[in-house]
Amino acid sequence: MLGGVGILLGVAAVPAQAAEVSYKTECIPPAASGLGPVEGTTKVEITAPATAKVGDEIQVVWKFVQAASKNPDLIVLPKNSVKPTGTLKASGAQTADIAMEGPQENPEIPKGGDMVLSDMTGKVKLTTAGDVTLTPDAYTITAYSTDTKCTPQEAVPAAATIKVTAAGGGSTTSGGSTSGGTTTSGGTATGGDTGGTTSGGSTTGGGTTSGGTTSGGSTSGGGDGQTDFAGKTVATSFACTSPGPAKIDSSATINAKKNGGSYDLTVKTAKGVMNSPAPLPAGALKPSMVITVGGDDSGSLKVEGPANKDALNTGDPVSLGDMTGTYKPGADGKATLSPGDLTIVVTLSAGSDPITIPCKATKTAVSLELDVQKQAGGVSGATTSGSGSSSGTSSGSSSSSSSSSSGGGLAETGANDHGGLRALGFVAGTAILLGGAVFTFLPRRRVR
């Protein structure tokens, strides 16, 4: 399998050996994709020094000659959107699991095309004299913040053997032909498909979030003539459904403008707290949020924001547009407004099925408090659309909008009517999803 090119760096220029092995592989797409396991054959070439000494730290290269799957006939994978990682096992005189990682580099991969994965490299320090054998093991393909995990389904033959001698001692070289320069090419894929895509090389981590206090900005909201009410910025966290990020750390501020007996709300979130995991067209990302109403009133309402106005390139900072809606009080007294669940709808191209990513609020606080008077058709005890019309009942806490999307896998599936959507879900697009800003879209570690 890995054919890595070689070069490994030991402490001195030593002959390199490269050997190719193949093995039956089972790849598991993300659970959200709804796809079953995919079986195929992985071919890899491993390159390592033929000889070395105790104390040397050597570099090993794993080259994918053939991945266990092809890109499904559903979507094009953009350039530099797929990242491989894996484990190379050392045994014999020394045992170790060598962590292997490749850069997020790949050509554009067409629908139905061979998966092209970059060469992975890893290092190990040699501690014991004798023969050390290197054998490829499991690997993971990450794309758009989703992982396809591939594991061997049979005993894998050793791909290289290093003759390790005691420091200062002589050494003999063994087998293998030398090969130079690393290349990243996928080779033809056969048998089976495997899903998988990558995190789009992004790191997750919250963006800058401003703290805020748990008590909202109190306002009179009554008859003193005030019409504009500024809320406090509060820290928020979200847990998103795959293929969204596991966690998003952000902040939100709820401001209100009195409009008759109702209030026009504007919700602002932290800006630029994530990076785009892949190229995204204008209009691809549209956010909405549930605002929880508490205090003397109860229920929830929905605010919505515009889609991204400009196209995004990989790595561009992503911010959510201000979300707006209307709060119509359903009770007299003091009402509190808090950020609730977040939803991001992803549309990759005109006419394509939208992919919905629900993110449950796991940390929030009151941003705004208003003195309100009950209005006919108000929110009390209900979930509203944000424009004052009641839709559905709920108990005074926020209702989350869940979604009909399904993620997809890198695996070829032969697709039913929703196959395209599934593939998107994991492959190019769907998951792109949100990281850390309000939704973590490739959160910057600076939330896929």
Tokens representing residue 155 in the block? 């005993």
Reported as a single tens digit per residue, the pLDDT across 80-93 is 888 999 999 999 99
Q: Give 3-state DSSP helix, strand, coil % of the chain, rounded to 5.
A: 5, 45, 55
pLDDT for residue 402 = 36
Q: List all residues 6 or more positions away from 342 whose beta carbon is below 8 Å from its beta carbon.
A: 238, 248, 287, 288, 289, 290, 358, 359, 361, 438, 439
Contact criterion met (CB below 8 Å) for 198 and 144 = yes
By C-alpha distance, which of 399, 411, 405, 416 is closest to 346? 405
Confidence bin at 155 (pLDDT 50/70/90): very high
Handedness of CA 312, 315, 316, 319 (dihedral sign): positive
Summarised one tens digit per residue, pLDDT across range 104-148 is 999 998 877 888 999 999 999 999 999 999 999 999 998 767 788
Q: Is the per-residue pLDDT at 430 higher than 50?
A: no
H/E segment holding residue 423 = helix 419-426
Is residue 49 helix, strand or coil? strand
Q: In the structure, what pLDDT confidence band is assigned to residue 218 with cuts at 50, 70 and 90? A: very low
pLDDT tens-digit series, residues 322-355: 999 999 999 999 999 999 999 988 887 777 788 8
What pLDDT score does 445 carry? 42
Rounded CA gap, 407 and 423, in Å? 7
Residue 383 pLDDT: 63
- Closest to 325 in 3D by CA, of 294, 302, 299: 302
Q: What is the mean pLDDT of the chain?
A: 73
Q: Please answer whether residues 145 and 245 qualify as being in contact, where contact means their C-beta atoms are separated by less than 8 angstroms.
A: yes
pLDDT at residue 242 in the model: 67
Q: CB–CB of 148/36 below 8 Å?
A: no
State pTM to two decimals: 0.45
Bridge partners (DSSP) listed for residue 390: 384
Cβ atoms of 79 and 108 closer than 8 Å: yes
Structure tokens at 114: 């061979």
Closest CA to 20 of 80, 82, 87, 66: 66
Surface-to-core class of residue 281, CB atoms within 10 Å of its CB (0-12 exposed, 13-18 middle, 19+ buried): middle
Mean pLDDT of 194-207: 37
Contact criterion met (CB below 8 Å) for 71 and 413 = no
